[in-house]
Structure 1
Amino acid sequence: MSPRLPWAAALASGLAAAAAAAAPTAAASLLTPAVAAQQEPVAPDGVAAVADAVLRAMDRTVEPCTDFFRYACGGWDDRTPLPADRDTVGRSIPAMIDRTAAWLAASLQPGGALADARPGVLFRTCVAAAADGAAAPPPATLADLAPALLRNGTTGSTPAPSLGAIMAALGQQHASGVGGDVLWGLAVEPVFETGGRIIKLRPPKSPTGSRGVNRTGTPVGDARRALATDALAFACRAGWAANCTSEGVPPDDLIDAALGLERQLAAVPVGEAMARMSLANAPALATYLAAADVKIPEELMVLHVTYFEALFKFLDDPASRAIVPAYFAYAVTVDLAKRDLLGADMTASWMAFLSVRDPDLFSERPSVEERCTQRAVRGLPDEVARAWVAANVAPADTAAMAAIFNDTRAAAAEAVAATSWLDGPSKAAALRKINDAEIRNGGDPVYDPYSDVSVVATGGGAYADNVLAVSAASWRRVIAPLTSAAAAARWRRPAFAFDASYFLLANRVTMTSAVQQWPLLPPAAATGVPAALAYGGAGYVAGHEFGHSLDNTGILFNSSGKLVPLTILSPASSVAFSNRTNCLVDQYSAYTVEQLGDSPPVRVNGAITLGENMADAFGVRVAADALKAALRSRLATKTVAASNPVLAKEFTDEQLYWVAVAQTWCIKRSDANLRRKVEDGPHSPEPFRVLGPASQSAAFASAFECPVGSPYRPKQTCTIYGA
């Protein structure tokens, strides 16, 4: 089974707990991962094998000072086609994600590490349900799938529910773990001033996605109405929707009400404001939390205040509340259909909508086995993580990464100390951020096998009950940090999820053990591996994440992860910071994406990508300095001359370091994928993640003797930290 792009990338990189998924603005991540079409060797061992892995990827006919990306990645690019069914391939990080996803999938198959455990049982029942035609679950199970608000009969007129009834139904539905956000989503996040936890409510995701939600009379609008019609017809038959006809058919006004509320919710401008709210002044929310089985706090936080103000103003009106049951029925039914819980017809209805809303995603949709793998891994992540760590994590590699972290932190502090435009107080505050940053390295040591999860039985008939069990457990995992110290200490993502990130609300750098693989981190036990390869890979990634602590967003938060009024910079240092970051914006905005043609030329958006570009520049600087310091002390036997004479004939340690940095970004994209990345992504296209930081580095120019005025040694540079 060959993993495809959408599911494998999501599986290996997005298997965060629901609490982490609920706070997407809190973390800055190294990249949006892609999946490789073919796997590179997992771990070359020995002088010849290590040298071959590096040299085969290169095109050394190119001058490094002219096109270093091609110099480092040209060989890989020439021999790696972009398959017709994929829009991205890659040598390094994508291949690592691909390998992890393949292991997870194989572990659930007969004979795999998880085949006889609960994840394997959930996987088999999922596949069996699809093989049986995804028959709709029995009425008893259907009753458990819907909140009380939907169990009100299929005929007749129903008065508007009270606000309390809506809140109770919403709490029950959220606690079930299925049905989606409906009116909002909930996360539990730390409060660093007190060491406690606070509940945060955020606007929901639309049940059908945001694309075209407000466009009626268009192909997407027509497809959305067709899906709503099918969903509400199912809800009528299940007894979840009021005001249906005697034949169980949803009338037009029921469909209009559901779609109208979806459009209204999507149209509210969310803004950026957040506010604490006392539960004493919000009895409706207290009702919701009680129904959701959440410990009632004294206060909670609402994100995007504008949305919640508009929502509760809407719910004050009885006429508005009268349409909420229709929207509940529609939203919950669509979410259940996405999970293959309502039978083949509703699954087909969702797929038909997806084929119109997002044809590319539809064409790359996962197979049944791939979908079932996702559900098993997401549903029981702790049990999967224990097996993955046992099979894949070498303590020596985690120790090697810890040493790189220490070296990189020390180099980061030196770079800040050498920054002349920072005045004394600003420099002290920046150093505190670096020195106080928490580091999470390897795998979460806390695993909870969920003793209250009861995967019922094998066979397709048990699938719905099994999903209900693990979904409810997923909700309990979200709220557990409110009452459990062990749960509060849990990592945001399990060990097998590719997570190299900086979490600004905790001033925390994380690198899970899924990241600690070749080629980013050569195995500690391998021979013939110069330290330059480890520092140009894993060291650069670590430095990149430290860089986010002082990028244009990180600089707004102090060493405790608290937003401070005027940033950690003094007014004078703020002016210098602004001037230097504006220079970097202009630098990247001048880059033309040649692959997309020149009519008109497509350029990188230097403003949108500023934070990631700053982190890249910081990362390459501090990892290079960390390598030099390590080679002078404890890693003298890991110079290229001492460890790999084949590579020593071609490179110095400094040169090999830069080759390793560039080979991190050996990635190829389709035109459509590249255009989306340029238009919407926070990261620059890969060639510019090499050109941008390397061309601003005096160390690079010195290593390759680049002449002034060449692409990799321009006359003007935009240096921020270390200058």
Structure 2
Amino acid sequence: MRNLITSVCACFLLAPAALAQQGNPAQPAPLAAMPYSPSLDLASVDRGVDPCADFYKFSCGGWMKNNPIPADQARWDVYSKLANENQQFLWGILEADAKAEARTPTQQKVGDYFAACMDTATIDKLGAAPVRPTLDAIDPIRDRKALIAYLGPLNRHVPGTFFFDAGSTQDPGDSSSVIAEISAGGLSLPDRDYYLKTDPKSEEIRKAYLVYVQRILTLSGEPAAKARKDAATILGIETELARASLTRVERRDPYKQYHKMTVAQLEAQSPVVRWPDYLRAQGLENITTLNVAQPAFQKAVDHVLTEESIDNLKAYLRFHVVTTAAPSLSAPFEQAAFDFYSRQLRGVQQLPPRWKRCVRQVDHGLGEALGQEFVARTFSPQTKQKTLLMADQIEQAMQSEIDHLDWMSPATKREATRKLHTIRNKIGYPDKWRDYSKLEIKRGDYFGNVLRVADFETARNFAKVGKPVDRDEWQMSPPTVNAYYDSQMNDVNFPAGVLQPPLYDPKMDDAPNYGDTGSTIGHELTHGFDDEGRQFDAEGNLKDWWTQTDAKNFEDRINCLRDQFANYVVVDDIHINSKLTSGEDVADLGGTLIAYMAWQKATEAQRLAPVDGFTPDQRFFIGFAQWACENTREANSRLQAATDPHSPGFARINGIVTNMPEFATAFGCKAGQPMVKAKACKVW
């Protein structure tokens, strides 16, 4: 992915940490039309900075000065600013759909979901009542066997929350089919390392987490003394699970998360849970094979379920029920979740206004229903065709690069070419919209809607098991400001939300558009050949199609970038974890290069003249840089360094142009200047 905005997930609730994502500054009213911002913004340029000394500050210094972080934001960048505008526009759509007398079924669902979310008087009056039935079901459990059996119903409503996750996945070994999967889950902090690191900042966060757990349990009705004791127990259980979890770097290796086995084999390896019963509770009958993403983690789950007391296990379940529901409950619960996950972990100062949270919730649960409304108003057929043409030109540039590589053998080149020509470009929105007709949305029942959305999504995902893969499916809603490459689908996906100004500007010349959207297309395309994507073949199967020599040559070139990016400081003494970010760093470098080549080819018959004092080549690179303009809070930078596979914005620009002689030529940079490396890294 080009940006840090996460895709629409199968979870039924907006997870607490998501409160910090894409929050936007308050606006007085919904937008009736999308505003316009140019893809090359002269006001964002700081002409007092030498582009050969710090190209990021040259391109973004004005933007950073003029765009302070809003109080409800952890970071503020070009992507999140556009996401804010999209959300304001969606707000207007949802207000109209909530009030209209004559509505389509789609308008009824999105309008009533939004109206129910905005009805804070009813939500606040209910307090903890919406989760009381689940808590009342947990309280009388006295038998370990009964508690373990109850995990099936619990995880169906709240996937991944209780000890582990279950769902469906495209079979890495046979990309044409869908299988069931058991994977790691059950943690409430952002990453396993938050439980295990011993530095003062990590200790401080764990102390704050204990306070949060106590607060949530007390709000749900527990006495303070018991809540304090239970908080320590819950942290202990989660720490044991964290210790058994793969690191984020380890999870970049798809082989480490592919362990296909029969249900009988899973029962032999992890016998505590009755897996046929558990799968049946998810609606899966007669399942014989599945993938177990982290077998060692499942053994840790067995140990916890066997060794912890019933009371301790019940405390863990109660907390996870309430903390997951907190953003959808009354104000005290929502505020508690915000104070820890957003204020403590990300430095956000203020809870986003209610309309933003409700727009996000509708987009999260009914993304393709709301997306139809968005696309009809914002995304023209001409934009789709121009983007498809740009994607085709960038693929041709990638083909040229493959053809001329001096380090890749003919045999591997043939397979790389086959994969390249098999990639599908999915632009704007799905060819077939998701059918929500069986999902009931009630205007006065917000939490009920949240539960029904969860059940609908869980049933939809599990219904895929045993069936052919739907290669037309999307993992992001059309209004999303992001893009992604799917290594198993072998497709590039660009929602309509990311193809709006300033990221894609139909009023602007080709240079900044190729620099911005073109380099993003190239970025996603290159993911098919990064350290993770290259391990999947043209059909999306996990298969080694590289010779050993070619693989070594490739890793040697990636290591050049890893060494470079590991030297960049994120905050204080925290450096970029370049083993985590290398896939994105490689995609940034390769994507920008092939976008530049495609732009030159597309305009070779044109006489390009300077505009606003910048040559065409300079406009390409400024357009490339300005998508990454950002300001971020210190706390969020720490979180990003630990969890985000993307490097900070300054590194994603300066770290790339220093490896492109084309940039040095465009700006007249000389050897020895900061933006000129003595020995450039080159993968593609």
**Normalised-by-shorter TM-score class:** 0.7 to 0.9
Question: Hey, what does 1:169 align to over in structure 2?
Answer: 150
Q: Which has the higher contact order (CA 8 A, sep 6+)?
A: 2
The 5 A counterparts of 1:52-63 are 54-63=41-50
Distance 1:586 1:669 in 2: 24
The 5 A counterparts of 1:239-250 are none
Distance 2:470 2:420 in 1: 26
Question: Hey, what does 1:560 align to over in structure 2?
Answer: 539
Question: Hey, what does 2:259 align to over in structure 1?
Answer: 275
Please report how far the alpha carbon of residue 618 of structure 1 lies from its aligned counterpart in structure 2 after TM superposition. 0.5
Range that drifts further, 264-273 or 382-391: 264-273
Alignment match of 2:500 (pick from 517, 523, 528): 517
Contact 1:37 1:89 in 2 (8 A): no
C-alpha distance after superposition, 1:454-480 (max 9, x if no partner): 22343xxx3333333222212223223
Change (3 A) 1:445 1:418: same
Question: Hey, what does 1:586 align to over in structure 2?
Answer: 563
Distance 1:86 1:129 in 2: 22
Please report how far the alpha carbon of residue 122 of structure 1 lies from its aligned counterpart in structure 2 after TM superposition. 2.0
Change (3 A) 1:182 1:621: same
Range that drifts further, 482-491 or 69-78: 482-491
Contact 1:113 1:387 in 2 (8 A): no
Letter in 1 for 2:406: S
Distance 2:447 2:23 in 1: 31
Distance 1:207 1:160 in 2: 26
Contact 2:23 2:72 in 1 (8 A): no
Please report how far the alpha carbon of residue 495 of structure 1 lies from its aligned counterpart in structure 2 after TM superposition. 1.1
Distance 1:170 1:409 in 2: 47
Contact 1:381 1:494 in 2 (8 A): yes
Question: Hey, what does 2:388 align to over in structure 1?
Answer: 402
Alignment match of 1:202 (pick from 183, 194, 198): 183
Please report how far the alpha carbon of residue 354 of structure 1 lies from its aligned counterpart in structure 2 after TM superposition. 5.5
The 5 A counterparts of 1:477-556 are 477-482=460-465, 489-523=472-506, 526=507, 529-556=508-535
Determine what percentage of the aligned residue pairs are the same residue.
22
Distance 1:456 1:618 in 2: 48
Question: Hey, what does 1:239 align to over in structure 2?
Answer: none
Contact 2:7 2:475 in 1 (8 A): no
Change (3 A) 1:619 1:37: farther
Please report how far the alpha carbon of residue 376 of structure 1 lies from its aligned counterpart in structure 2 after TM superposition. 2.7
Contact 1:57 1:75 in 2 (8 A): yes
Distance 1:376 1:540 in 2: 31
Distance 2:264 2:161 in 1: 24
Contact 2:367 2:478 in 1 (8 A): no
For the aligned residues, what is the CA RMSD?
3.9
SS at structure 2 position matched to 1:151: helix
Please report how far the alpha carbon of residue 383 of structure 1 lies from its aligned counterpart in structure 2 after TM superposition. 1.6
Please report how far the alpha carbon of residue 657 of structure 1 lies from its aligned counterpart in structure 2 after TM superposition. 1.3
Question: Hey, what does 2:114 align to over in structure 1?
Answer: 123
Distance 1:492 1:575 in 2: 33
C-alpha distance after superposition, 1:286-332 (max 9, x if no partner): 11111122344221111111011222355456x75675444333322
C-alpha distance after superposition, 1:359-394 (max 9, x if no partner): 735x33333333333323322222211111112211
Contact 1:13 1:498 in 2 (8 A): no
Question: Hey, what does 1:654 align to over in structure 2?
Answer: 617
Asked if 1:134 corresponds to 2:120, the answer is no
Please report how far the alpha carbon of residue 197 of structure 1 lies from its aligned counterpart in structure 2 after TM superposition. 0.2
Asked if 1:610 corresponds to 2:582, the answer is yes
SS at structure 2 position matched to 1:538: helix
Change (3 A) 1:336 1:502: same
Change (3 A) 1:135 1:397: same
Alignment match of 1:336 (pick from 309, 317, 325): 325
Question: Hey, what does 2:211 align to over in structure 1?
Answer: 223
The 5 A counterparts of 1:57-206 are 57-83=44-70, 86-90=73-77, 92-110=78-96, 117-130=108-121, 133-136=124-127, 145-146=133-134, 151=137, 154=140, 159-162=142-145, 165-166=146-147, 168-175=149-156, 177-178=157-158, 181-191=161-171, 193=174, 195-206=176-187
Please report how far the alpha carbon of residue 486 of structure 1 lies from its aligned counterpart in structure 2 after TM superposition. 8.8
Distance 2:339 2:616 in 1: 55
SS at structure 1 position matched to 2:126: coil
Contact 2:163 2:187 in 1 (8 A): no
Distance 2:447 2:214 in 1: 25
The 5 A counterparts of 1:244-263 are 260-263=236-239
Change (3 A) 1:121 1:385: same
Distance 2:635 2:285 in 1: 47
Scaled by the length of structure 1, the TM-score of the pair is: 0.78
Which structure has the greater CA radius of gyration?
A: 1
Asked if 1:718 corresponds to 2:658, the answer is no
Q: What stretches of structure 2 of length at least 5 have no aligned partner?
A: 16-20, 197-202, 248-255, 268-273
Please report how far the alpha carbon of residue 265 of structure 1 lies from its aligned counterpart in structure 2 after TM superposition. 3.0
Letter in 1 for 2:84: D
Letter in 2 for 1:463: Y
Distance 2:673 2:446 in 1: 62
Scaled by the length of structure 2, the TM-score of the pair is: 0.82
Change (3 A) 1:323 1:649: closer
Distance 1:54 1:353 in 2: 36
Question: Hey, what does 2:553 align to over in structure 1?
Answer: 576
The 5 A counterparts of 1:452-491 are 452-458=438-444, 462-482=445-465, 489-491=472-474
Contact 2:393 2:598 in 1 (8 A): yes
Please report how far the alpha carbon of residue 209 of structure 1 lies from its aligned counterpart in structure 2 after TM superposition. 5.8
SS at structure 1 position matched to 2:446: helix
C-alpha distance after superposition, 1:666-709 (max 9, x if no partner): 22334444454455533333233222222222222333333333
Contact 2:565 2:578 in 1 (8 A): yes
Q: What stretches of structure 1 of length at least 5 have no aligned partner?
A: 1-8, 23-31, 45-49, 237-247, 642-646
Please report how far the alpha carbon of residue 404 of structure 1 lies from its aligned counterpart in structure 2 after TM superposition. 0.7
Contact 1:520 1:537 in 2 (8 A): yes
SS at structure 1 position matched to 2:53: coil
Alignment match of 1:327 (pick from 316, 323, 328): 316
C-alpha distance after superposition, 1:513-532 (max 9, x if no partner): 11111122223xx4xx3211
Letter in 2 for 1:663: Q
Contact 2:418 2:538 in 1 (8 A): yes
Question: Hey, what does 2:284 align to over in structure 1?
Answer: 294
Contact 1:66 1:711 in 2 (8 A): yes
Change (3 A) 1:205 1:365: farther
Aligned residues between the structures: 645
Range that drifts further, 436-445 or 79-88: 79-88
